[in-house]
Amino acid sequence: MGYFNRILNNCREVSEALITDEPKSFKHRLEIVLHVRFCKCCKNFKIQSKKIEQALKHMSSSSSSLNEAAKVASDSFKKKAKEGLK
């Protein structure tokens, strides 16, 4: 039962994995999918992160002057989110 508790009780690790673009092993990806399926908070975090990323991409495609701001905002968001998890 300890392994399943670790999968289900690691919101910090899962949310960090959702905002980084690091390559993950199959086992790690499976653990993330299982966790997100059962954890309402992480499911909401994943949905909100995707919407923020889509909004930034839309902003960057609408104007060349906003393109640089969106890239900075996206990197800034990932950095702050990762720091907030520590």
Residue range 52-81, pLDDT digits in tens: 989 888 877 765 555 565 566 667 777 777
pLDDT value for 51: 93
pLDDT value for 57: 84
- Number of structural domains the chain divides into: 1
Radius of gyration of the chain (CA): 15
Residue type, 31: E
Region 2-24: mean pLDDT is: 80
pLDDT value for 47: 94
Q: Is the pLDDT of residue 2 over 90?
A: no
Q: Which of 75, 11, 9 is nearest to 44 (CA)?
A: 11
Domain holding 6, by residue range, is 2-84
